[in-house]
Amino acid sequence: MVATNDVCFQTPSDFEAHETRVCIHEGRALDDPRRERRYSAQQYLRTPLEMAELFADIPEAISNAYEIAKRCNVKMNLGTYYLPDYPIPDGETPGSYLQLVSQQGLAQRINSRGMRAPQSTREHYDARLDFELNVINQMGFAGYFLIVMEFIAWAKENTIPVGPGRGSGAGSLVAYCLGITDLDPLEYDLLFERFLNPERVSMPDFDVDFCMEGRDRVIAHVSELYGANAVSQIITFGTMAAKAVVRDVARVQGKPYGLADKLSKLIPFEVGMTLTKAMAESEELNEFVTQSEEASEIMDMAYSLEGIVRNVGRHAGGVVIAPSALTNFVPLYTEDLGGSLVSQYDKDDVERAGLVKFDFLGLRTLTIIDWTVRSVNEGRKVSGEELLDIDLLPLDDAKAFDLLRRADTTGVFQLESRGMKDLIRKLLPDGINDIIALVALFRPGPLQSGAVCRRLHQS
């Protein structure tokens, strides 16, 4: 016999907010007579004294609950990372094996493509490689690079298109040597320190793009290699944001749609906006809530529910690989439709618990490129022409840049928006470095800075 309580909220006064949240989730109204009432105001977190009074006639139930609590022993070494064991040859350590395959990879890259970095020699490459390997081994991340190397190599061997690399990971020569990326960081003068830096200890994080059609096959391969019970995707939590929670509360309370619509539209549209901030910034919203009793009722309840989890989903690309069963590190969650398991911690808490997140991103652009290459090669097989190898396409093709300068870029990744087309027409790119600059500059920060500089110059 054990004393317990099915706790759903912290205090009795939270019961109304809890019922509202239940109705939002079920799509019901609070006053719906058909609604099932499954909860009561007694399901709050009672104090030890209250529990003792409730079970005064069965004191052993209290003592048994205490005995169970004493047996619950959770130890978490926060800040310690647990990588799965990558299969390495006998006599090698992860660090020595990473050095071996990196040096072999560098030799292959140089033999196949030459040293393309301006004013660089083999000594420059060797020095950069040694520097990166020292940092990686010093920080204990050799296994991480080997794991990523393996599943990218498997994808390529199984004709699953993989992106050439992006983000700060493209600044790693080790990644280039291992085939994780296809960008020579010395050629483009990219910094390794943006990816890994001993002075800012954080997990490395390669954003790896796979063809949408092949991504699940790569995840299935990883599950087979490291064990299905050691691999899962990561949960995400959708929360009740300011505008949405106002509409949800109004609907559940049976308030008019027009009232909810007006109240929601008065909340400024801004990333990270909260109800408190909206009331402080918008005089019109403040005045409307003050003058309308119904609007005030909506806001009172919305304050209680704002930020509460509304639904759960799966992270777009995050996958965790544990050294043993996932349940040794994190709780798991089964999706409503009985799909695959996901971690019950989100991406930040998964890493705090010591597991390493790997990004398996599905990119439709890669799928479309793959379809295009296959279509071209089917025609070339018939005509007997040499098959197209997209990895060998030159980056200085004159006809390609003629097309770009005409802003004929619909369907071209990151170059197809109206604003980008206008910028292309003005700057007329004629080299890959111009495209790099265009994409880097076409961001809110640089564009805003440029506009400010122009106004200062004009004044």
Task: Express each pLDDT in 385-398 by its tens digit.
Answer: 999 988 888 888 99
Same domain, 21 and 150: no
Which residue in 87, 82, 75, 62 sits closest to 4, CA to CA? 62
Alpha-carbon distance values, 163 to 166, 362, 370 (Å):
8, 10, 11
Beta-strand pair 309-321/341-343: unpaired
* Residues contacting 249, CB < 8 A, separation 6+: 20, 24, 298, 301, 302, 305
Same domain, 162 and 120: yes
Tracing tokens 């990119």 back to the chain, one arrives at 363
pLDDT number for residue 390: 86
* Residues contacting 140, CB < 8 A, separation 6+: 81
Task: Tell me how many degrees the CA angle 79-84-89 measures, rounded to the nearest 5.
Answer: 130
Q: Which residues pair with 231 in a beta bridge?
A: 321
Domain CATH code at residue 263: 1.10.10.1600
Q: In this structure, is the dihedral angle defined by the CA atoms of residues 210, 215, 217 and 221, taken in order, positive or negative?
A: positive
pLDDT number for residue 414: 84
Half-sphere exposure of 10 (CA within 13 A, CB side): 1
Q: Domain count of the chain?
A: 4
> Percent of the chain beyond pLDDT 90?
54
Beta-strand pair 309-321/231-239: antiparallel
More confident residue, 411 or 222: 222
pLDDT number for residue 454: 53
| C-alpha Rg value of the chain to the nearest Å | 29
- Is 216 inside a domain boundary? yes
Same domain, 198 and 59: no
Phi, psi angles (nearest 5°) of residue 320: -105, 140
Same domain, 105 and 214: yes
- Is 86 inside a domain boundary? no
Structure tokens at 129: 């490689």
Range of the domain at 270: 241-307
Same domain, 101 and 203: yes
Average pLDDT over residues 331-357: 84
* Residues contacting 3, CB < 8 A, separation 6+: 51, 54, 55, 58, 61, 62, 64, 65
Beta-strand pair 357-363/207-211: parallel
Q: pTM value?
A: 0.79
pLDDT number for residue 459: 47
Q: Taking 70 as the threshold, does the pLDDT of residue 457 lie above it? A: no
Q: Taking 90 as the threshold, does the pLDDT of residue 442 lie above it? A: no
Strands (E), 198-285: 207-211, 231-239
- Is 63 inside a domain boundary? yes
The Cα–Cα gap between 455 and 459 comes to: 6
Structure tokens at 297: 């009722």
The Cα–Cα gap between 226 and 148 comes to: 13
Taking the CB of residue 120, how many other CB atoms lie within 10 A of it? Answer: 15
pLDDT number for residue 167: 86
- Is 155 inside a domain boundary? yes
The per-residue pLDDT for range 232-271, each reduced to its tens digit, is 999 999 888 999 999 999 999 999 999 999 999 999 888 8
Task: Tell me how many degrees the CA angle 181-215-83 measures, rounded to the nearest 5.
Answer: 65
11 within 8 A of 44, measured Cβ to Cβ: yes
Which residue in 311, 305, 306, 310 sits closest to 14, CA to CA? 305
- Is 5 inside a domain boundary? no
Average pLDDT over residues 185-214: 87
The per-residue pLDDT for range 120-144, each reduced to its tens digit, is 788 899 999 999 999 999 988 899 9
The per-residue pLDDT for range 43-56, each reduced to its tens digit, is 999 999 999 999 99
Q: Enter the DSSP assignment of 10.
A: S
Same domain, 26 and 169: no
| Stated length of the chain | 459
Same domain, 218 and 160: yes
Same domain, 150 and 218: yes
Same domain, 111 and 22: no
Question: What sections of 318-417 are H helices per DSSP?
Answer: 347-352, 364-383, 398-405
The Cα–Cα gap between 195 and 203 comes to: 9
pLDDT number for residue 275: 92
The per-residue pLDDT for range 143-182, each reduced to its tens digit, is 999 999 999 999 999 999 999 988 889 999 999 999 999 9
Average pLDDT, the chain: 88
Same domain, 103 and 185: yes
Classify each residue of 178-216 as buried b or exposed e, where b means 16 or more C-beta atoms within 10 Å of its C-beta: bbbbebbbbeeebebeebbeeeeeeebbbbbbbbbebbe
Taking the CB of residue 297, how many other CB atoms lie within 10 A of it? Answer: 15
234 within 8 A of 342, measured Cβ to Cβ: yes
- Is 384 inside a domain boundary? no
- Is 81 inside a domain boundary? no
Same domain, 221 and 99: yes
The per-residue pLDDT for range 367-383, each reduced to its tens digit, is 999 999 999 999 999 88
Structure tokens at 334: 């089964």
Same domain, 359 and 213: yes
> Percent of the chain beyond pLDDT 70?
94
Average pLDDT over residues 346-363: 88
- Is 257 inside a domain boundary? yes
pLDDT number for residue 176: 95
Q: Which residues pair with 233 in a beta bridge?
A: 319, 342
